[in-house]
Structure 1
Amino acid sequence: MTDQPSYPTALGASSRTAITLLGQDLAHDVMGEVGFGELAYWLATQRRPTPGQVRVFEAVLAALADHGFTPTAIVTRLTYLSAPDSVQGALAAGLLGGGSRFLGVTEDTGTFLHEVLEGHPGPLPTRDADWDALALETVHASRTAGRFVPGLGHHVHKDGDPRTPRLMEIAAEEEQFGPHLSLFAAIGRTHPQVLGKTLPLNGAGACGAALADLHLPIPLLRGFALLARAAGLIGQLAEEIRNPVANDIFLSVDLNNRPVAPDPYPGNRP
């Protein structure tokens, strides 16, 4: 008789009479006892978070849930207009738009900061002056390499993203203000010396720094942004059902298109 393969998991497992999740009885130890934010953190790390970690994590989720008529929200509403029988398609369309310009900044910033810290020789700074020196070195290196520093700038909040100081305040209150947030804050203080202009630290970047300081898996940081935005997109769909605007958006483009002569693609130059 051939041995059956074994697939070990510490996540969900079912028997005829019970369901376990993370070693807990789902029905009795999790349902009604563990909040969704706490559970999401626990699932990703297989480590139960402290109350302070939960507060910071849920602050990040709130910060990223919805930011108005962004492309992710618009495409969700338009997809629902086109296929109202496919809520999952509308949600998926919005989530698939989470990239380098929207939502992906959370991952990009957390990864960028983590790589700087991982590559830093010796102990990490403990004073603001030393963090500022590291930040200056980091911004200089990025500019020399012709790369942007993720998390700097915002297309709307040009005078400061209100989410950033509040998230930093919450992290400090809960003793979760770690090296990633420290470096990000120092970049905010020092980058004008290199760039010659002052840019706001955007909220998505602050979220990436905070998530990294919570010791969440760096490759999954965009996943947490998408988790937050899924709630926001459900809200967008709920409002679209009650007060639809997608058809107006569609018609504003469809009724105002302007025919022009063909513009042949030039091809790829060597």
Structure 2
Amino acid sequence: MNNTHQDTQAAKWWHTKIIDMKPGEIRYHGYAIEELIGRISFADMVWLMTRSELPSQAQSALLEAALMSAVDHGPQAPSIAIARMAMTCGSSLNNAMASAVNVLDDVHGGAGEQAVELYQTIHARLQRGEPLTNATAEGLDAWREKHGKIVPGFGHRFHPIDPRAPRLLQLIDEAAERGEISGQFASIAREIEQQLRKAKGKPIPLNIDGATAAVYAELDFPAPLARGLFCLSRSVGILAHAWEQKCQGGRNKGPIPKGWLWQYQGHPPRHLEGKKSVNN
């Protein structure tokens, strides 16, 4: 086997349309890195890497807003708490961040992806000519039948109204008024909110996951990428908290303060009787 054939085989082992690199040259989707540095934002780069093209100014602004809106929610959020606990166990920053990102799964971190999926199923019904009210009701029924009663992106354990959600919807509305996006996914989110209120007899407001999902759906991101984008966003908060904990110090901090104990619900106290010693 000659070297040319080996080089060809090696080149075919991995193939990508994302990056072209050789000595002295780095290009992302055809753009030289030295032309991008200082000219595009980090949000632009995220778009380029995931979508193969640079975004418009309007698309970049909405993506930027969604990414920055979800960076942190305090140590009560499992991912943040895990990052801080990991640092008190002597972990490095990268290990603490990895530990935290690994719990951004279906329950904590996955609601945005799920909300995009829900919005898209309702949007597909609208495209077939169904009225918004009917399309939303049918979409919710289909979602519950498949996934259970919880509607992703709505309701919050701490906030009667999530302060992040109205602002993101406002930005969607403003972009829609300028003709930059359709605005249909914000309408879908609001209709879901109304129908949940009627069904429950109380407000079940849009939360950060549902609001960012409306942005990502308006920007035509596939649903799985919505979870990846949330991981990128929350990683900023994870890094900040891990670094703060390192600077604060502390050793082996668990999820509850020292002196607070969990509730034991097992067998009452008992004694070992009538057992032979393992040494006999």
Whether TM-score is above 0.5 comes out as: yes
TM bucket (normalised to shorter chain) is 0.7 to 0.9
Percent identical pairs in the alignment equals: 24
Partner of 2:115 in structure 1?
109
Matched, 1:71 2:72: no
Tell me the TM-score normalised to structure 1 length. 0.84
Name the amino acid aligned to 1:241. Answer: K
Opposite residue 164 of structure 2, the aligned amino acid is R
Could you give the per-residue CA deviations for residues 234-263 of structure 1, whole angstroms, max 9, x where no partner exists? 111121123346755467257635766449
1:170 matched to 2:171? The reply is yes
Indicate whether 1:52 and 2:58 are aligned: yes
The answer on whether the counterparts of 1:142 and 1:148 sit within 8 Å (CA) in structure 2 is no
Q: Is the 8 A contact 1:11 1:21 kept in 2?
A: yes
Indicate the RMSD between aligned Cα atoms, in angstroms.
2.5
- Three-state SS of the structure 2 residue aligned to 1:101 is coil
SS in 1 for 2:190: helix
Unpaired runs of at least 5, structure 1: 125-129, 264-270
- Indicate conservation of the 8 Å contact 1:59/1:167, yes or no: yes
Letter of the 1:160 counterpart = I
Contact 1:139–1:194 (8 Å) recurs in 2: no
Q: Which residue of 2 aligns with 1:183?
A: 188
Question: Do the aligned partners of 2:122 and 2:136 also contact (CA within 8 Å) in 1?
Answer: no
Match of 2:23 in 1: 16
One-letter identity of the residue aligned with 1:75 = I
Name 1:268's counterpart in structure 2.
none
Structure 2 residue runs without a partner (length 5+): 269-280
**What one-letter code is carried by the residue in structure 1 that aligns with 2:79?**
T
Aligned to 2:237: 232
- Give per-residue Cα distances to partners, 1:180-229, cap 9 Å, x unaligned: 22211111122222333321111111111211210112222100000001
SS of residue paired to 1:14: strand
Deviation at 1:62, TM superposition (A): 1.1
Say whether residues 1:122 and 2:128 are aligned partners: yes
TM-score (normalizing by structure 2) = 0.81
Deviation readout 1:58-91 (Å, 9 max, x if unpaired):
111111110111111110111121133x221100
Q: What letter corresponds to residue 167 of structure 1 in structure 2?
A: L
The code of the aligned residue for 1:51 comes to Q
Which residue does the alignment assign to 2:104?
98
Deviations 1:32-67 (A, max 9, x none): 111111100111111211111111111111111101
Measure how far apart 1:122 and its partner are.
1.6
SS of residue paired to 2:107: coil
Larger Rg over CA atoms: 2
Partners in 2 of 1:257 and 1:197 — Cα distance?
33
- Conserved in 2, the CA contact under 8 Å of 1:114 and 1:212? yes
The amino acid that maps onto 2:37 is M
- Is 1:196 the counterpart of 2:197? The answer is no
Give the 3-state SS of the residue equivalent to 1:13 in structure 2: strand
1:81-129 alpha-carbon deviations (Å, 9 max, x no partner): 1133x221100111011123322111111112113323556246xxxxx
How many Å separate the matches in 1 of 2:164 and 2:182?
A: 15
Query: 1:127 — aligned with what?
Result: none
Residues matched between the structures, number: 255
SS of 1:138's equivalent in the other structure is helix
- 1:168–1:246 distance in 2 versus 1, CA, 3 Å: farther
Q: Does structure 2 retain, via aligned residues, the 8 Å contact 1:168–1:177?
A: no
1:76 counterpart letter in structure 2: A
